[in-house]
Amino acid sequence: MSPTDVTGQSATAAAPPKPGEMRLEVILVPVSDVDRAKAFYASLGWREDADFDISDEFRAVQFTPPGSGCSIHFGKGLSATEPGSLQRLELAVSDIDAAREHLISRGVDVSDVFHGAPGEEPGSGPDPEGRPYTTFASFEDPDGNGWLLQEIKERLPGR
């Protein structure tokens, strides 16, 4: 059994869920090579929360995007899901161009900005009307799991 490696960075403290609340905490991302995935997500500037290297058959790694209340897990012995099969993992950003440039500066191949609402054909560039939730850019991890940057400058009422 290998020692557990947990970074010294602490997560933002949050009160436990109240009765009736459910918070999405972790998404399992299927990968084929744990160390390659770990290097990729670290290169994004995401916080490494844990690396539980228990045995040759079981390892769980957790990363959290900056400002997120939800983390990702990947590793060995966690799931039979096919690596690269996860798509449309959405990361909310306030400035799509800045987020895109940040990722590009870290060596990530990010798509051009595009827009579209449900039922519309995607168009090139940001949403011409400036509608919230309709401007995107995309990238993939080394296994082909698909991520979307979604620009949200203003939340819909009740959000």
Model pLDDT for residues 12-26, shown as the tens digit of each residue:
567 887 888 898 999
- Residue 4 inside a domain? The answer is no
**Does residue 97 sit in the same domain as residue 134?**
yes
**Secondary structure (H, E, C), the chain:** CCCCECCCCCCCCCCCCCCCCCCCCEEECCCCCHHHHHHHHHHCCCEEEEEEECCCCCEEEEEECCCCCCEEEEEECCCCCCCCCCCCEEEEECCHHHHHHHHHHCCCCCCCCEECCCCCCCEECCCCCCCCCCEEEEEECCCCCEEEEEECCCCCCCC
Shared domain check, 128 and 93: yes
According to the model, what pLDDT value does residue 45 have?
A: 95
Q: Let me know whether 94 and 143 are in one domain.
A: yes
101 in the same domain as 68: no
- 26-28 and 71-76 strand pairing: parallel
Cα distance between residue 92 and residue 83, in whole Å? 23
CA pair distance 72, 55, nearest whole angstrom: 20
Give the pLDDT of residue 4: 36
Extract the residue ranges of the chain whose pLDDT is less than 50: 1-11
pLDDT of amino acid 13 = 61
What is the structure's pLDDT at 10? 43
30 inside domain: yes
Instruction: Output the pLDDT for position 157.
Output: 77
Do 113 and 126 touch, CB atoms closer than 8 A? yes
Does residue 2 lie within any of the structural domains? no
Domain that holds residue 68: 26-76
How many domains are there within the chain?
2
- CATH classification of the domain holding 99: 3.10.180.10
Same domain assignment for residues 69 and 41: yes
